[in-house]
Amino acid sequence: MDELTWRRPTACGDGNNCPEVAVTSDAVYVRSSLLPDAIAQLTPDEWRDLVSAIRSGEFDL
């Protein structure tokens, strides 16, 4: 895997328990700052579906 540029929400500040995302032309990579070696790879369509589901509250308890 090439070197990825990881981004995290600004709300996390310098916290160590944040989601991080790296976007390339072919894929979107997601990881937790607590487990940086555990990386999920999503297609752009999968990423779009995930973000849409989060925004609509699909995962709210």
**pLDDT per position as a tens digit, 5-57:** 999 999 887 777 899 999 999 999 999 999 999 999 999 999 999 999 999 99
The distance between the two most distant Cα atoms of the chain, rounded to a whole number of Å, is 36
SS3 20: strand
Q: What pLDDT digit, counting tens, does each position of 3-19 carry?
A: 899 999 998 877 778 99
Q: pTM here?
A: 0.83
